Amino acid sequence: MRRGRRARDLGIMIGDREPGEHDAITDVPGVRVGHCTILRDPDIRTGVTAIVPDGIGPHAPLPAGLFTGNGYGKLIGATQVAELGQIEAPIVLTSTLSAFRAADALVSWMLARPDCADVRSFNPVVGECNDGYLSDIRARPVGEAQVLAAIDDAAPGPVAEGCVGAGTGTGALGFKAGIGTSSRVLDLAGEPVTLGVLVQANFGGTLRVLGTTIPPGRFGPGEAAVQDAGSCMIVVTTDAPLDARQLTRLARRAVFGLGRVGASYSHGSGDYGIAFSVRPGGTPPPDAALSPLFEAALDAVEEAVLNSLFNATTTTGVDGHVLHAIPIPDLIEFLRRSRPTTAR
């Protein structure tokens, strides 16, 4: 994992709250992330990313909420999350046509657990983005082995970003993107809490950085047109003891956060937010106290998307298609001229 190419390393500071130790979703206690990246020349650029809360399982569900910004997607397990307000497995992200195999792999994960010998119903949650511009999506190279490898790879600490796991073949806002993450630490009703975000960025629009629009074509030819029918999966977690209704409100703010970076929310974009708490059974804070958490979610999503872009590399894939990484020196120079006090 390359360091020094994240938004904060480049002097791009979003909001006035500090991140956690790793500025990642894994700053929330007990949350781990794993990737399985699949690269096969010349036409496979895909993978799997798993968000794994410690102890998660059918007998140890966590409260969760779901918000659909635009429902052009295949979010497996969505209706039960919305109905019951909980998740009972790792959240897996992958490629659109591989989502169904990933769901089956999660069932295999559950069946192999000794504590699940009596389980007869199970709700795997799998999100997806269409990486078919860079990867032969019809080949469906993601199988049980790759999904279980991502879950087994899940670890605390720094999270690999950019062209890795489920972000290997994705692009956003006209540039190569992928996986991005960020976190915030804040006071909520007198208690310190952490909020973390992970995005699988693959959506259209015109990039904005700190409110400054980057004109299309400013850094040379891009592939914005093919990316306008993409998607974005956003996973938010916190150690605040929120209930399912409050987590749905939090997931809604996460999807709103895409607007800050210029998302177009087009007809063909599946934009989803899933939020869960690692503190089941706690006393939820009053709704009137949630505004700082909402603001933290907006900030963290904005930063996570930028991290997904800044850590990506130019990628050539199926049929010779290319998505270019954003040229960071040119971007910083543009921001210096536009906002001389915000980037170095």
Give the domain CATH number at 248: 3.60.70.12
Q: Is residue 39 part of a domain?
A: yes
pLDDT computed for residue 141 by the predictor: 97
Residue from 23, 153, 239, 271 carrying the catalytic annotation: 271
Residue of 182, 183, 269, 308 with catalytic role: 269
What residues have CB less than 8 Å from 145, skipping those under 6 apart? none
On the question of pLDDT at 344 being above 50, the answer is no
pLDDT above 60: residue 342: no
Active-site residue, selected from the candidate residues 98, 182, 183, 231: 231
The verdict on residue 195 lying in a domain is: yes
In a domain, 332, yes or no: no
Torsion region of 167: left, alpha or beta (phi above 0 gives left; psi -120 to 50 gives alpha) = alpha
**What total of structural domains would you count in the chain?**
1
What pLDDT shows up at residue 219?
85
Residues 279 and 239: beta-carbon distance below 8 Å:
yes
Q: What is the pLDDT of residue 245?
A: 98
Q: Is 179 part of any domain?
A: yes
Q: CA 23, CA 1: separation in Å to the nearest integer?
A: 14
Whether 340 maps to a domain, the answer reads no
Strands 91-95 and 125-129: parallel
Spatial separation of the C-alpha atoms in residues 271 and 72, rounded to whole Å:
8
221 has a pLDDT exceeding 70:
no
Residues 6 or more apart from 291 whose CB is under 8 A from it? none
Q: Is 231 a catalytic residue?
A: yes
* 125 is a domain residue: yes
Residue 309 lies in a domain: yes
3-state secondary structure 109-148: HHHCCHHHCCCCCCCCEEEEECCCCCCCHHHCCCCHHHHH
Active-site annotation holds for 269: yes
| pLDDT for the residue numbered 223 | 46
Q: For tokens 């409100």, name the residue.
A: 249
What is the predicted pLDDT for the residue at 227? 52
Over the stretch 227-275, which tens digit does the pLDDT of each residue have?
Answer: 566 799 999 999 999 999 999 999 999 999 999 999 999 999 999 999 9
Inter-residue contact 135 to 98 (CB < 8 Å): no
* Residue 97: inside a domain: yes
3-state secondary structure string across 24-60: CHHHCCCEEEEEEEEEECCCEEEEEEEEEECCCECCE
pLDDT tens digits, one per residue of 39-58: 999 999 999 999 999 999 99
Domain range for 254 is 8-325
Known catalytic residue at 152? no
Residue 187: which H helix or E strand, with range? Answer: strand 179-188
Contact by Cβ (8 Å): 55, 30: yes
Output DSSP code: residue 73: S
62: nearest Cα among 72, 75, 52, 71: 52
